[in-house]
Amino acid sequence: MPARSDYNALSADLVQKFLAFSLALKGSAIEEPVRHLVNIRASQMNGCAFCTDMHVKEARIAGERELRLHHIAIWRDSPLFDARERAALDWTEALTRLSGHGVADEIYDSVRRELSEKELSDLTFAIMAINGWNRVAVGFRTVPGSLDGMYGLAKAGLA
């Protein structure tokens, strides 16, 4: 399916500001390997082929194990994730799939047992960012792999 409009050109100033926000997350209390898991899981849930492809490649370049990447979709049943990662994935799912009743206290309390208030706050902004990018890429049908050269993702060896 071909891409739709070129939002990067049409809204260049907004894209740059949102990108700056997203890049600021690198200095957050949530470490890069957990951010990779969060970005991939939210992108899977949102059906965002472009972002799933991009974040899997980024995670591989950063050294994430291939089997763990395959297990993100089944993280609840997989033994490959620690308690902190599970909490981050649980919070990701809760905020990506908001119900009409908000986030249950049980989920919040469970996540808070693993993450500090600052970490939970920073994680929430990371989830907000990836959900935003997912909506842009899905809405404009950004083609998976189409920006690999610009983003340096070819070195992931997953072409």
Question: Mind listing the pLDDT tens digit for each residue in 4-47?
Answer: 889 999 999 999 999 999 999 999 999 999 999 999 999 999 99
Does some domain include residue 110? Answer: yes
The per-residue pLDDT of the chain, averaged, comes to: 95
CATH number of the domain that 113 lies in?
Answer: 1.20.1290.10
Does some domain include residue 133? Answer: yes
Does some domain include residue 109? Answer: yes
Does some domain include residue 159? Answer: no
Q: What pLDDT was estimated at residue 150?
A: 84
Q: Which domain holds residue 97?
A: 11-141
Q: What pLDDT was estimated at residue 159?
A: 67
DSSP state of 143: P
Find how far residue 69's CA is from the centre of its chain.
13
Q: In angstroms, what is the C-alpha Rg of the chain?
A: 16
Average pLDDT over residues 146-153: 84
Does some domain include residue 129? Answer: yes
Does some domain include residue 151? Answer: no
How large a percentage of the chain has pLDDT more than 90? 83
Instruction: Name the pLDDT band for 149 (thresholds 50, 70, 90).
Output: confident
Residue 152 has pLDDT above 90, yes or no: no
Instruction: Name the pLDDT band for 147 (thresholds 50, 70, 90).
Output: confident
The total number of structural domains in the chain stands at: 1
Residue located via tokens 């194990």: 65
Angle at the Cα of 143 (from 49 to 19), degrees rounded to 5? Answer: 80
Q: What pLDDT was estimated at residue 131?
A: 98
Instruction: Name the pLDDT band for 155 (thresholds 50, 70, 90).
Output: confident
